[in-house]
């Protein structure tokens, strides 16, 4: 029962974050009279799909297969960290685009590396959760 509540609360949290950053993207670019595409536009769908939808799917799968274990909590911590690191990269790049800040090569490489770490954490976490679900489905 606890994990179902956790999945629902996580989904709700990312729904709110998606809405907040959708409004931020629109208002921040409008306030700065910026009309070109920006990385800020990636935050809204990332939080909706990888946050809200992902945790709603886990809620449904938990109800059906009861796949959660103690290991699941650790995997989901890595998932949250990965998602938010990736979003932080989009946020930093997007703000620099709007303010017309050209990053140094070192900063550019650092941002790419950090965002890459976030995406790797997301990918590995998704694989590990999928393996747990597969094990429960087979039982």
pLDDT digits (tens, 9 = 90+) for 23-55: 999 999 999 999 999 999 999 999 999 999 999
Range of the domain at 120: 2-134
Question: CA 9, CA 104: separation in Å to the nearest integer?
Answer: 39
pLDDT above 70 (res 1): no
pTM of the model: 0.93
Number of folded domains that form the chain: 1
Is 124 domain-assigned? yes
Q: Where are the alpha helices (H) located in the chain, listed in sequence order?
A: 2-31, 43-46, 54-65, 70-98, 105-138
How far does Cα 23 stand from its chain's mean position? 17
Question: CA 61, CA 133: separation in Å to the nearest integer?
Answer: 8
Is 139 domain-assigned? no
The whole-number average pLDDT for the span 132-138 is: 94
Residue 52's contacts (CB-CB under 8 Å, 6 or more residues apart) are 11, 12, 14, 15, 18
Is 99 domain-assigned? yes
* pLDDT tens digits, one per residue of 65-91: 999 999 999 999 999 999 999 999 999
């Amino acid at each position: 029962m606890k994990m179902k509540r956790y999945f629902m609360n996580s989904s709700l949290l990312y729904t709110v974050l998606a809405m907040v950053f959708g409004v931020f993207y629109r208002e921040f670019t409008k306030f700065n009279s910026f009309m070109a595409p920006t990385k800020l536009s990636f935050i809204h769908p990332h939080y909706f799909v990888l946050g809200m939808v992902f945790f709603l799917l886990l809620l449904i799968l938990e109800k059906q297969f009861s796949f959660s274990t103690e290991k699941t909590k650790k995997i989901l911590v890595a998932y949250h960290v990965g998602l938010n690191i990736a979003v932080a990269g989009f946020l930093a790049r997007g703000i620099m685009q709007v303010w017309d800040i050209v990053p140094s090569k070192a900063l550019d490489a650092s941002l790419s590396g950090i965002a890459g770490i976030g995406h790797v954490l997301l990918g590995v976490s998704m694989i590990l959760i999928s393996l747990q679900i597969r094990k429960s489905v087979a039982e």
